């Protein structure tokens, strides 16, 4: 047995352990266990500094989870968009492939509680129909292995899946959605990296939410993946009492870049059952983003998105930097709230600029091919104006 597997075995997971370790009332601990079981491995447990801290809040069951009955089991409608077991096919050219129900840690805010934990929740019997679906759908060029956490599979099992995917010629990219570099970095071994290298291009999206999660162990894990040629991105979720603060997120994204992890998405929390106490306002998210743009390098800035309830997919949000926009110019403000004007140049396919409106009737103007001539375009000038 590998060290990481032993650490899974040694995790806090029973009602007795919850009562003893975290002083949770036995009846509440039982109800929480029934709602969504706990798994806190010894590594992640060691990151807790005091009760209720940002690490504790992510992994220790809280009675507030039992007070939130209104939210959906499956807010992103992943099951409704599942043509065969284990596959969600929402976007045109990519598919989500759920390969296990197990995770190195059960996050209290998880969107897939309905799928995670119990082995029965994601059946391995569904793998064959999933492979067939991927083979038949030639428009799928990008497959995201998720679950659960695909790195909970043994190297052998994971390799079988990767090998089979690599036999499908239209699949160009394989992505691993794994929280292991953050919650159980001991899983990233030289043996695993050597195996993954054989199936490039492989990308990994991991999930750090707080700077305290960046330790010598998790840094080493991310660097090993990067050294194996696997670009690592980070998807974080804004949560109350954990990271709903621009200084905390700035610290996190800067530390991520140092360990060669590119901040990729910053999500509003999904409207999933039992997670109401984690939710923040949209204004908080926008404020965090404002606290990054201009204040640290663009490389460190994730896209801020809402994964739209009902399966609408990821929709980006940005603070309002546009004060005015017309056919001649756009008026913008920068991160210091200074105001700038940028000229609106017509382009070759759109010689009238600004949507090519026919001013007489307001309808889009038909552009004859012969009318479009290449012309010199002046370099745009940014000029500061009075405010």
**Residues designated as active site:** 90-91, 94, 103, 107, 110, 112, 270, 307, 314
Q: Alpha helix (H) ranges present in the chain?
A: 3-9, 15-22, 26-35, 42-45, 54-59, 127-136, 155-166, 180-183, 190-196, 216-227, 246-258, 282-290
Decide if residue 103 touches ligand SF4 (CB under 6 A). Answer: yes
The contacts of residue 87 (CB under 8 Å, 6+ apart) are: 95, 96, 97, 98, 130, 133, 134
Using a 10 angstrom Cβ sphere, with 0-12 exposed, 13-18 middle and 19 or more buried, the burial of residue 378 is exposed
Give least dist CB 226 to ligand SF4, A.
21
Instruction: Kindly indicate which of the ranges 15-23, 99-107, 320-328, 376-384 contains the residues binding ligand SF4, using the contact rule CB under 6 A.
Output: 99-107
Nearest distance, CB of residue 179 and ligand SF4, angstroms: 4
What's the closest the beta carbon of residue 231 comes to ligand SF4, in angstroms?
20
User: Which window, 49-57, 80-88, 104-112, 125-133, contacts ligand SF4 (CB under 6 A)?
Assistant: 104-112
The distance of closest approach from Cβ of residue 118 to ligand SF4 in the complex, given in angstroms and rounded to an integer, is: 12
Q: Which of 13, 57, 89, 112 binds ligand SF4 (CB under 6 A)?
A: 112
Binding segment for ligand SF4 (CB under 6 A), chosen from 105-113, 126-134, 273-281, 365-373, is 105-113
> How near is the Cβ of 294 to ligand SF4 at its closest, in Å?
31
Question: Is the Cβ of residue 55 or residue 107 nearer to ligand SF4 in the bound state?
Answer: 107
| Phi, psi for residue 264 in degrees, rounded to 5 | -115, -60
Q: Which of 163, 185, 188 is nearest to 174 (CA)?
A: 163
Q: Does residue 266 belong to the site contacting ligand SF4 (CB under 6 A)?
A: no
12 binds ligand SF4 (CB under 6 A): no
236 or 292: CB nearest ligand SF4 = 236
**Considering the complex, what minimum distance in angstroms separates the CB of residue 41 from ligand SF4?**
11
Measured over the CA atoms of residue 172, residue 129, residue 176 and residue 291, the dihedral's sign is positive
Region of 43-51, 108-116, 254-262, 366-374 interacting with ligand SF4 (CB under 6 A):
108-116
Distances (CA, A) of 235 to 182, 268, 287, 326, 349: 11, 11, 18, 35, 37
Binder of ligand SF4 out of 45, 116, 196, 214 (CB under 6 A): 116
Q: Which is nearer to ligand SF4, 184 or 253 (CB)?
A: 184
Q: What is the chain's alpha carbon radius of gyration, rounded to the nearest angstrom?
A: 24
Tell me the C-alpha distance between 123 and 379, whole Å. Answer: 58
267 belongs to the binding site for ligand SF4 (CB under 6 A): no
Question: Which residue, 74 or 292, has its beta carbon nearer to ligand SF4?
Answer: 74
Residue 96 contacts ligand SF4 per CB under 6 A: no
CA distance 172 to 3: 33
Q: Pick between residue 40 and residue 95 the one whose CB is nearest to ligand SF4.
A: 40
Is residue 365 classed as helix, strand or coil in its secondary structure? coil
Q: Which of 44, 56, 97, 106 binds ligand SF4 (CB under 6 A)?
A: 106
**Residues in binding contact with ligand SF4, number by CB under 6 A:** 9
Nearer to ligand SF4, 121 or 260 (CB): 121
Of the two residues 104 and 263, which places its CB atom closer to ligand SF4 in the complex?
A: 104
9, β-bridge pairs: none
Q: Contact between 7 and ligand SF4 (CB under 6 A)?
A: no
Candidates 140, 118, 93, 115; CA nearest to 13 is 118
Question: In angstroms, what CA-CA distances link 300 with 234, 261, 267?
Answer: 10, 9, 15
**Residue 13 within binding range of ligand SF4, rule CB under 6 A:** no
Q: What are phi and psi of 84, to 5 degrees?
A: -140, 160
> Which strand ranges, in their side-by-side order, compose the sheet holding 382-384?
322-325, 329-333, 339-343, 382-384
Binding residues for ligand SF4 restricted to 175-194, rule: CB under 6 A: 179
Stretch 148-167: interaction string toward ligand SF4, x if CB under 6 A: xx------------------
Q: How far apart are CA 184 and CA 164, in angstroms?
A: 27
Our finding on whether 252 is near ligand SF4 (CB under 6 A) is: no
Q: How far is CA 185 from CA 51, 79, 175, 222, in A?
A: 23, 30, 18, 8
Residues that bind ligand SF4 in the complex, under the rule CB under 6 A: 103, 106-107, 110, 112, 116, 148-149, 179
């Amino acid at each position: 047995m590998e060290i990481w597997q032993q650490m899974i075995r040694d995790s806090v997971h029973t009602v007795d352990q919850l009562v003893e370790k975290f002083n949770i009332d036995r009846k509440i601990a039982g109800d929480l266990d029934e709602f969504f079981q706990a798994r806190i491995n010894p590594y992640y447990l060691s990151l807790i500094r005091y009760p209720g801290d940002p690490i504790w809040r992510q992994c220790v069951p809280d009675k507030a989870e039992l007070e939130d009955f209104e939210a959906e089991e499956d807010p992103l409608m992943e099951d409704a968009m599942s043509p065969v077991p284990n596959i969600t096919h929402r976007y045109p050219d990519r598919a989500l492939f759920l390969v296990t129900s197990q995770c190195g840690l059960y996050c209290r805010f998880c969107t897939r509680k309905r799928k995670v934990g119990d082995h029965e929740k994601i059946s391995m019997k569904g793998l064959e129909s999933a492979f067939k679906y991927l083979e038949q759908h030639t428009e799928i060029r990008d497959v995201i292995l998720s679950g659960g956490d695909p790195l909970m599979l043994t190297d052998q099992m994971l390799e079988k899946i990767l090998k089979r995917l690599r036999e499908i010629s239209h699949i160009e990219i394989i992505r691993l959605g794994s929280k292991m570099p953050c919650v159980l970095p001991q899983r990233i071994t030289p043996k695993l990296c050597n195996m993954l290298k054989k199936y490039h291009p492989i990308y990994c999206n991991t999930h750090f939410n707080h700077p305290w999660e960046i330790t010598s162990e998790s840094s080493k894990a991310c660097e090993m993946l990067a050294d194996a040629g696997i670009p690592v991105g980070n998807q974080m979720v804004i949560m109350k009492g954990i990271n709903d603060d621009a200084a905390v997120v700035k610290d996190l994204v800067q530390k991520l870049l140092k360990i060669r992890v590119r901040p990729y998405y910053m999500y509003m929390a999904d409207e999933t059952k039992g997670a109401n106490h984690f939710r923040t306002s949209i204004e908080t998210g926008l404020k965090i983003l404002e606290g990054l743009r201009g204040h640290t390098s663009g490389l460190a800035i994730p896209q801020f998105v809402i994964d739209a309830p009902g399966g609408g997919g990821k929709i980006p949000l940005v603070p309002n930097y546009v004060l005015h926009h017309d056919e001649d110019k756009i008026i913008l403000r920068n991160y210091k709230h200074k105001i700038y004007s940028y000229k609106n140049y017509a382009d070759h396919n759109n010689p009238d600029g600004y949507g090519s409106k026919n001013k007489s009737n307001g309808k889009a103007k038909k552009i004859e091919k012969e009318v479009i001539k290449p012309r010199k375009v002046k370099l745009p000038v940014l000029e500061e104006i009075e405010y």
